[in-house]
Structure 1
């Protein structure tokens, strides 16, 4: 046999095709639309979305394939070696124009009043492929709308049944809440039961909808797209640091949409990050400096406010001063706070305001496995986390790993939380037994079998537990023994950045400087009535001290404890950098206008540092500040080992933060507060414990601890481990309960 020439230019598992006369080398098994997109050849489409499965239902992407007697959908036709495709031939254009005409048969002629106008895929494609005059004379069909909740507005008569929203809730969110009902021309998309969407990612159906059927209810009829200016920013309600765009009109943030970054949030956005901008415009927004005079609040000028702040700090230097910082504070502000504390001789500075156990001097650490690789892990252990509420898009990564790549997910929790993935094993134990549960031989063997392609995700239930040091040690030992990568979720949007900026105590930690009160405190970005792990102890200490509060909100709890309120901007209003859970430093640009006389926090700190002649405040602008930034190493002081709770006869507390109660901005976003996931203050306990106490769902119960007491509604929930109660923090009603154990009796 004679030798045959070998085409070395085509890699293995690739084929050569031709699209509109252009020769392309593309992977086997890919679709025509993939090849065309990679080559920059436009093909119209509606149902196709690169992050969703292929439906091939709209037929808008029909193309002409040589030797094929019928048109082929580009999204569902695999490439073959030697294939020749025409996307703009007379035949292909006829197919596409005919499909466009059919799609518009029942579509309402309401473009002038449609909230999607100006950014509607159907509008754009119909301009190029639609007819100027309709040949359809029959009555158009009308579909009744259903209420999908406070976040997503519906106009289902516009729906073209592309099923993108259905596939999103099924494949990405994992909730299967949307589907097609009826048949033929009566087909319509809905929720079957008429209930609101409950997924924490529901806003993404707005982004994938190619028409105006699903729109943003909060933004609806507020502005036209061409009136908006886009600003790059970041999500600041969890440690993922989702990339997003703020859409702003005349300084007001009207809408938030995702900005694609495959290494962080892919192209999705959690509802918490999408709708929290509402909270920026709360009635109690701090917009002018305030000073307490004889128990009354008086508006003062910035010059007087800076002089007052300087006087308070000058009179309370060294160990008399405590600096408490919210963990979503930016790197720039954090670095200045660390410099300010050092210049005043105080080593009492901390951002770990939700932590209870400091005996191991634990600080935030970057993930041992990059978040973008977690969906490729073979074994995943979720340890002490309601991950779906804690970091919604990290939960989506875990689901993707399980659904797409067959990962085995193991859960060790005190509550059988609702997850959108299946579990290979599940242990629901008391909080005090979490460490022992990691010793399970079968679990260890399963994870060790992954040969290092495994990850342990450690969440807030562990990190904020009264005996957290023991649990962190157990997680580290488990990871070391099995070869898994340890990923401790930082407790705050910028906890890792503040750790690197030196916002850590060489002296007293957050708990110590409140249990042993200082004479004066700086509160930075904190809502004192809701943000501390032990609210009662915090308020007692703050009420007896001089307090300078740098705050976005002049809320009741801040007014009660502060002597001076300095209004500062929130992240969507300032230029800033945050460091996410991967250790990735990301930048946000100022979008919204500062409220009233509020100022960027770094400017206020710069002025105070300058007045106090503290080193490190010589810069004059943000660029100068950033040029001076460098990682700071702090030898963090460890506190005494945590002791067992005094109420030995009580119930162990499973404390989680409500998904929409985590910080001051989210708590003021009215649409999120109206969402079904915002369950409200309550105490959940197992059926066995409820029977023993004579309690039923809906009844009120008195819940007490050494810290305080509360009256809460009872929920009998079989998911809760017997011997414990599940209570969400972030609510005023649950704030007094800052303990590991509580007693429960009928009210």
Structure 2
């Protein structure tokens, strides 16, 4: 580790550290543009000049490219370096339009900061400026190429780091252009990252265009709620409206970037139909009145019909604090322990991850560092998009990726795919077949192997089988690690709090012993299989109570509704798929946006003491009120830590701070699987999440609507031909949940003998993660 001197300050840094990075450790800011910690440097901007006084190569050098050496002496503020940087800054600004007053990057523009830092302030150029025609890049990204300073960050982010193929660099010299060959929507699922990477206002968030300045925004560290990875984000809001989401830095999880679903899927917070008022049928209530009615009715039914009569249902959308307090309230009123998921198979898979696999779980950082990743039953871009980017970094570092899946999986990197059906996946993991032994041998030959386990596809039984493969591929020198993909943002947390055995919600509802169901931030009609049976079972209830912040069908039909806050309006904890405890902080207060209350005017013409639509309260506070407690979150977390010892350092964690994983436990097998026999002439039914709109939050986000796809059923061409069907035909998909009229799409990249449907906004009837089932596809239209 070399020790060097920069501006008379000594610092010792790891081998391979550049002078620019060493200066950062000392708090010395060297102006730069092309350098980015995730992207490295290419020496394109020439802005980071320093003078090497002592070293192998003396003189004026680019600090982003020069490696630190033992005994090196560097100056950043000498006359030569300062004058060079000022000239470079002036040169970069020659063709810039100087349109800061109308640029969305104003206030957080690195070009502004570095131009001032370099000492350039006088505009001397009076000639004709270079100009471009901007491209239309779709609903998310706005382009203003005249502001470009040719740092190459956009193309290095979009193409090199994230693997996009429809965006690049064209032209030469001072006519370099960054964009597509022609206008069109950017195809990558990570296109929004060029907004964060761009140091000036060339690429900006079109959905946030002309809304606010950076200094006007309320921001706070948060956790993306759209999948189980738990990426770190920084949402920003103003005037009661959540206006944008940008990536935060979390090197253990998402690194420096996020996916487009996480970036643009936030407008569910501002949904025009979002329920913000407590109601009893058509009667409006205060939240206090609604809570009193809830408590009185629950105790009354338990006294009359016993503890079975009231059922409490938590969810993987609810925070860890909410689910724990829900359990406490169940104890208080004397009913059975709550169920923490409406979808039992998904929940059981999460329990396997939280208990049986706890000692070998790994972070996205470990995935990026792996030399062999084998994904089994996982479609990263649909289930956990940033995993796809992590796999790309593994490949860029020399690693290999292999995928076993029935779906037409796509990844932003080179990979080998073996197309297998769901039953063949389970056979692959049984530990005795030839294929299974070959898989173990493959993993044993790697130095840092990782198994990616698709919880939705494999279920609890498949996850337990995969655990045996991981154990067989481990040795005394290293473990074969596992990165599971779970159903929701807090699936791990809900599993962590659950009893070893969970009853099936639908079975209990159909028993007619349940008189009252309390749903906390969940809708079984959308989140659980057999939604038609659920609808009938719910009609048997005497009382349906819903606490939520989404306008779901269940919210509309509740006897008693109590509004809660969205994650960006409250604080709480999610535990991600690898067991990492992560806290989020409130960004905005719940209220109707001023753009709504002002009816287009600003400010509104009526002034009142209480903001309209400000009734929603964090669900954990609602249950504290029901329990008669008034403790703050730190005190609550101390109690939780005592009750749940696996929550290591839970009471000391801070939003945006260092996160830590829960403690390991002894394994706990909770499930055994059986593979049903296939009916004659049937196909294995594969229900998969859509890339956009499968999770409820993105489904209710208007910004993502351009990405929603039409519903269809996909077959391999051989299966279609065997049934006399052609691509584009109208067909009937017959399932145990009923027939569905869909359009046929032939796809030769999926498994033979399977029928594939995506669960999304335009086809909500079938939900991913159920038990293995079969179906039939035939021509015609169903009238059922």
Shared fold, TM over 0.5: yes
Aligned mate of 1:733, from 756, 763, 767: 763
**Distance between the aligned counterparts of 1:166 and 1:587, measured in 2?**
33
Following superposition, the deviation at residue 529 of structure 1 comes to 3.3
Aligned mate of 2:583, from 584, 587, 593: 587
Please say if residues 63 and 86 of structure 1, whose CA atoms lie closer than 8 Å, have aligned partners that are also in contact: yes
Residues 325-373 of structure 1 show CA distances to partners (whole Å, capped at 9, x for unaligned) of 2212111110121123344444363233334388899444147243032
Q: How does 1:82-93 map onto structure 2 within 5 Å?
A: 82-93=71-82
Assess, with a 3 A threshold, how the Cα gap between structure 1 residues 78 and 486 changes in structure 2: closer, same or farther. closer
Please say if residues 381 and 409 of structure 1, whose CA atoms lie closer than 8 Å, have aligned partners that are also in contact: yes
**Distance between the aligned counterparts of 1:337 and 1:648, measured in 2?**
46
**Distance between the aligned counterparts of 1:125 and 1:61, measured in 2?**
10
Following superposition, the deviation at residue 689 of structure 1 comes to 1.8
Assess, with a 3 A threshold, how the Cα gap between structure 1 residues 97 and 202 changes in structure 2: closer, same or farther. same
**Distance between the aligned counterparts of 1:182 and 1:148, measured in 2?**
19
Aligned mate of 1:412, from 404, 407, 411: 404
Following superposition, the deviation at residue 150 of structure 1 comes to 1.8
What is aligned with 2:18?
A: 31
1:221 aligns with 2:206: no
Q: How many matched pairs?
A: 712
What is aligned with 2:652?
A: none
What is aligned with 1:44?
A: 31
Following superposition, the deviation at residue 17 of structure 1 comes to 4.1
**Distance between the aligned counterparts of 1:426 and 1:401, measured in 2?**
16
What is aligned with 1:628?
A: 639
**Distance between the aligned counterparts of 2:62 and 2:209, measured in 1?**
34
SS in 2 for 1:674: helix
What is aligned with 2:657?
A: none
Following superposition, the deviation at residue 711 of structure 1 comes to 1.9
1:421 aligns with 2:453: no
Tell which deviates more after alignment, 209-218 or 256-265.
Answer: 256-265
Assess, with a 3 A threshold, how the Cα gap between structure 1 residues 491 and 553 changes in structure 2: closer, same or farther. closer
**Distance between the aligned counterparts of 2:133 and 2:552, measured in 1?**
42
1:574 aligns with 2:559: no
1:667 aligns with 2:666: no
Following superposition, the deviation at residue 419 of structure 1 comes to 0.9
Please say if residues 277 and 562 of structure 2, whose CA atoms lie closer than 8 Å, have aligned partners that are also in contact: yes
1:556 aligns with 2:553: yes
SS in 2 for 1:75: coil
TM-score by structure 1 length?
0.88
What is aligned with 2:715?
A: 685
**Distance between the aligned counterparts of 2:36 and 2:725, measured in 1?**
50
Following superposition, the deviation at residue 645 of structure 1 comes to 6.9
Following superposition, the deviation at residue 469 of structure 1 comes to 4.2
Following superposition, the deviation at residue 559 of structure 1 comes to 2.0
Assess, with a 3 A threshold, how the Cα gap between structure 1 residues 551 and 157 changes in structure 2: closer, same or farther. same
Aligned mate of 2:99, from 110, 114, 119: 110
Assess, with a 3 A threshold, how the Cα gap between structure 1 residues 539 and 487 changes in structure 2: closer, same or farther. same
What is aligned with 1:712?
A: 742
Aligned mate of 1:55, from 39, 42, 46: 42
**Distance between the aligned counterparts of 2:115 and 2:464, measured in 1?**
60
1:387 aligns with 2:380: yes
SS in 2 for 1:36: helix
1:510 aligns with 2:505: yes
What is aligned with 2:599?
A: none
Q: How does 1:34-433 map onto structure 2 within 5 Å?
A: 34-66=21-53, 71-129=60-118, 131-292=120-281, 297-317=282-302, 318-347=307-336, 349-356=338-345, 362-365=351-354, 366=358, 368-371=360-363, 372-404=365-397, 406-423=398-415, 425-433=416-424
Residues 499-538 of structure 1 show CA distances to partners (whole Å, capped at 9, x for unaligned) of 2333x47562335335545332111112343211332222
SS in 2 for 1:349: coil
What is aligned with 1:7?
A: none
Residues 403-456 of structure 1 show CA distances to partners (whole Å, capped at 9, x for unaligned) of 22x223221111130012322x432111111112244133221101236x3222
Please say if residues 137 and 186 of structure 2, whose CA atoms lie closer than 8 Å, have aligned partners that are also in contact: yes
SS in 1 for 2:526: coil
**Distance between the aligned counterparts of 2:202 and 2:351, measured in 1?**
49
Following superposition, the deviation at residue 653 of structure 1 comes to 1.5
**Distance between the aligned counterparts of 1:215 and 1:31, measured in 2?**
30
Residues 483-508 of structure 1 show CA distances to partners (whole Å, capped at 9, x for unaligned) of 12233333221122222333x47562
SS in 2 for 1:389: helix
Please say if residues 529 and 766 of structure 2, whose CA atoms lie closer than 8 Å, have aligned partners that are also in contact: no
What is aligned with 1:4?
A: none
**Distance between the aligned counterparts of 1:649 and 1:555, measured in 2?**
37
Assess, with a 3 A threshold, how the Cα gap between structure 1 residues 644 and 537 changes in structure 2: closer, same or farther. farther
Following superposition, the deviation at residue 209 of structure 1 comes to 0.3
What is aligned with 1:6?
A: none
Please say if residues 245 and 263 of structure 2, whose CA atoms lie closer than 8 Å, have aligned partners that are also in contact: yes
Following superposition, the deviation at residue 555 of structure 1 comes to 3.2
Q: Runs of 5+ in structure 2 lacking a partner?
A: 475-479, 592-612, 647-664
SS in 2 for 1:306: helix
Tell which deviates more after alignment, 89-98 or 706-715.
Answer: 706-715
Residues 242-300 of structure 1 show CA distances to partners (whole Å, capped at 9, x for unaligned) of 222222324432222222221222222222222232111112211001222xxxx3323
Following superposition, the deviation at residue 83 of structure 1 comes to 4.3
TM-score by structure 2 length?
0.84
Please say if residues 660 and 666 of structure 1, whose CA atoms lie closer than 8 Å, have aligned partners that are also in contact: yes
Please say if residues 95 and 130 of structure 2, whose CA atoms lie closer than 8 Å, have aligned partners that are also in contact: yes
**Distance between the aligned counterparts of 1:605 and 1:277, measured in 2?**
26
Assess, with a 3 A threshold, how the Cα gap between structure 1 residues 636 and 473 changes in structure 2: closer, same or farther. closer
Following superposition, the deviation at residue 631 of structure 1 comes to 1.6
Assess, with a 3 A threshold, how the Cα gap between structure 1 residues 357 and 285 changes in structure 2: closer, same or farther. closer
Please say if residues 382 and 457 of structure 1, whose CA atoms lie closer than 8 Å, have aligned partners that are also in contact: yes
Please say if residues 590 and 616 of structure 2, whose CA atoms lie closer than 8 Å, have aligned partners that are also in contact: yes
Assess, with a 3 A threshold, how the Cα gap between structure 1 residues 322 and 664 changes in structure 2: closer, same or farther. same
SS in 1 for 2:22: helix
Assess, with a 3 A threshold, how the Cα gap between structure 1 residues 246 and 547 changes in structure 2: closer, same or farther. same
What is aligned with 2:621?
A: 603
SS in 2 for 1:257: strand
What is aligned with 2:656?
A: none
**Distance between the aligned counterparts of 1:169 and 1:689, measured in 2?**
37
